[in-house]
């Protein structure tokens, strides 16, 4: 069994166990959210932006603070296009391995990097996706204490191991449903293929009648459901 085969099982088990995380949107709404982790990247993110621009698709980006500091102009280009921005930690360390002080510092450093690059106030950047999807109940408790919102996923095609664009697209199309929260990567691992993947994926999903929304829209749907 490939690791990619385990993610749908993990989703089914973890979603009911941790309902305060955002795992997907309204199953009665024909929408999907494209999200991208590990950027911004000086080469791969501009390539991705060109595809999103062509189709006029909104997306959500979960950034590493170190990458924002390395590519502030790219970060600003993403923000200027109105895409939703979230946090992925400063340098991709697994959150459960960090002390509470170090975790808070990692998130705040990333917010500061985003503010310096994009002038986006920290109060507007409160969504957090844990690196490698790893968290504990303590992690979530700290997020609540610090007023962050945990964002997870429902479709993970394991694009970071670069199985090939057709395989990544096929995995997504096999799993996608109303409200799906799809994870791709525009960073050092997987970003090489992200523009080509989205170039194929977006028209396929549009043909199926899906509308593309941001993570913020999925949160709003979640609030209406409950």
Q: How many angstroms separate the first and last alpha carbons of the chain?
A: 36
- 105 catalytic per annotation: no
123 in active site: no
Question: Of residues 41, 88, 92, 185, which has the active-site annotation?
Answer: 185
Catalytic residue among 37, 127, 159, 186: 37
Annotated active-site positions, please?
37, 185
């Amino acid at each position: 069994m490939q690791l990619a085969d385990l993610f749908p099982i993990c989703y089914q088990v973890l979603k009911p166990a941790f309902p305060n995380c955002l795992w997907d949107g309204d199953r009665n709404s024909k929408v999907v959210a494209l999200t991208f982790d590990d950027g911004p990247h000086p080469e791969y993110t501009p390539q991705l932006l060109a595809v999103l621009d062509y189709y006029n698709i909104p997306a959500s980006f979960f950034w590493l603070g170190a990458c924002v500091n390395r590519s502030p102009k790219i970060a600003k280009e993403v923000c200027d296009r109105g895409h939703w921005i979230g946090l992925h930690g400063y340098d991709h360390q697994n959150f459960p391995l960090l002390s509470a002080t170090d975790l808070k510092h990692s998130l705040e450093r990333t917010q500061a990097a985003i503010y310096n690059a994009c002038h986006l106030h920290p109060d507007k950047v409160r969504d957090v996706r844990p690196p490698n999807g790893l968290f504990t109940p303590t992690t979530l408790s700290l997020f609540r204490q610090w007023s962050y919102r945990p964002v997870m996923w429902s479709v993970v095609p394991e694009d970071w191991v670069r199985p090939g664009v057709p395989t990544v697209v096929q995995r997504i199309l096999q799993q996608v449903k109303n409200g799906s929260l799809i994870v791709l990567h525009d960073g050092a691992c997987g970003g090489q293929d992200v523009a080509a993947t989205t170039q194929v994926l977006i028209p396929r999903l549009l043909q199926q009648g899906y509308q593309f929304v941001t993570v913020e829209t999925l949160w709003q749907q979640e609030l209406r459901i409950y």
